[in-house]
Amino acid sequence: MTGEVLRAHRLTRRYGEGGGLVRAVDEVDLSVPAGQTLVIMGPSGCGKSTLLHLLGGLLRPTSGEVWLAGRRIDTLSERALARLRRNGVGFVFQSFHLMEELTAVENVELAGLLAGQAPRAARRRATHLLERVGLANRAGHLPSALSGGQRQRVAIARALCNEPLVVLADEPTGNLDSAATLEVLRLFEDLRTTGQTLVVVTHDHRIAAVTDRMITMRDGMFADDSRLANLATTPLYDGWR
Ligand code: ADP
Ligand code: MG
């Protein structure tokens, strides 16, 4: 798709009240064009996860608007939001959130089955996605038999299962050692070249190598928003690939 995939308008989420009031996200405006890889950084507690959850319809704003592919989503019914979370958005979490009793391929295809894909089509797609993330030979493994980097790659394959408009990743390398972090960053780089719209929240500065744009958040607001046109074409890693 072309044009704008995500838009936030004066997006605000508060927690608590009175003296305990926290402005987790405070009147944020954001526009993410199709195909952009956007990285959001900032100190712990600045509102990154809250923002990501608002953008993906996991959380409702206190005020303001969220638009996905031209459709306002913050006002949708619970039912429509659940459908959107299954079909329109792919989530990647720090702690993977895989089903421990399902194999890698079953974890990926489950997302397709829940979205209404026929079993055979879901399996075919899951198998293809595991190939794409370099795990064809681990399809039958349980998560417990996979390394952290492999688990996160399964989770990314799962996030891609329904061809989401946007992939939202919250500290996707937060639980990984540096070798596994590189595996995941390399995969994000692949996604970027295929035009997948991607929003990644992270502490990890190495992710600058695979991004088009970096926003720094502080106290629920954007402190800085830079386009990194140069970085996008400059591999920063020795031994990348
Ligand atoms: P980050 O992901 O950048 O660490 P969060 O979005 O998790 O930040 O949190 C932003 C602020 O909102 C923090 O001050 C946090 O303590 C607060 N917060 C987050 N979730 C809740 C909640 N469910 N209830 C109350 N306060 C919350
Ligand atoms: Mg967080």
Q: Say if 240 falls within a structural domain.
A: no
Ligand 1 atom closest to Cα of residue 25: 10
Average of per-residue pLDDT across 38-49 = 95
CATH number at residue 73: 3.40.50.300
Q: Say if 238 falls within a structural domain.
A: no
Residue 30 pairs in a beta bridge with 8
Q: How far apart are CA 74 and CA 62, in angstroms?
A: 10
**Distant-in-sequence, close-in-space partners of 9: CB < 8 Å, separation ≥ 6:** 29, 64, 65, 66, 67
Q: What is the mean pLDDT of the chain?
A: 92
Structure tokens belonging to residue 237: 């890693």
- Span from the CA of 49 to the centroid of ligand 2 (angstroms): 4
Amino acid 158: pLDDT = 97
Q: Considering every ligand atom, which ligand is closest to the CA of 53?
A: 1
Number of domains in the chain: 1
Domain that holds residue 156: 4-233
> Which of helix, strand or coil describes residue 72?
strand
3-state helix/strand/coil string of 153-187: HHHHHHHHCCCCCEEEEECCCCCCCHHHHHHHHHH
Q: What is the pTM of this model?
A: 0.92
Average of per-residue pLDDT across 152-180 = 95
Residue nearest to atom 26 of ligand 1 (CA): 15
Confidence of residue 206 (pLDDT cuts 50, 70, 90): confident
Ligand 1 atom closest to Cα of residue 217: 3
Residue nearest to atom 1 of ligand 1 (CA): 45
Q: Say if 241 falls within a structural domain.
A: no
- Span from the CA of 95 to the centroid of ligand 2 (angstroms): 12
Amino acid 2: pLDDT = 67
Q: Say if 208 falls within a structural domain.
A: yes
Average of per-residue pLDDT across 151-167 = 96
Residue-wise pLDDT for 15-27, tens only, equals 999 999 999 999 9
Q: Say if 103 falls within a structural domain.
A: yes
Q: Say if 148 falls within a structural domain.
A: yes
Which has the closest alpha carbon to 183: 155, 142, 145, 220? 155
- Span from the CA of 220 to the centroid of ligand 2 (angstroms): 12
Q: How far apart are CA 193 and CA 180, in angstroms?
A: 20
> Which of helix, strand or coil describes residue 116?
coil
Residue-wise pLDDT for 137-150, tens only, equals 999 999 999 999 99
Share of the chain above pLDDT 70, in %: 94
Identify residues whose C-beta is under 5 A from ligand 2, the ion. 49
Q: Say if 239 falls within a structural domain.
A: no
> Which comes out higher in pLDDT, residue 241 or 129?
129
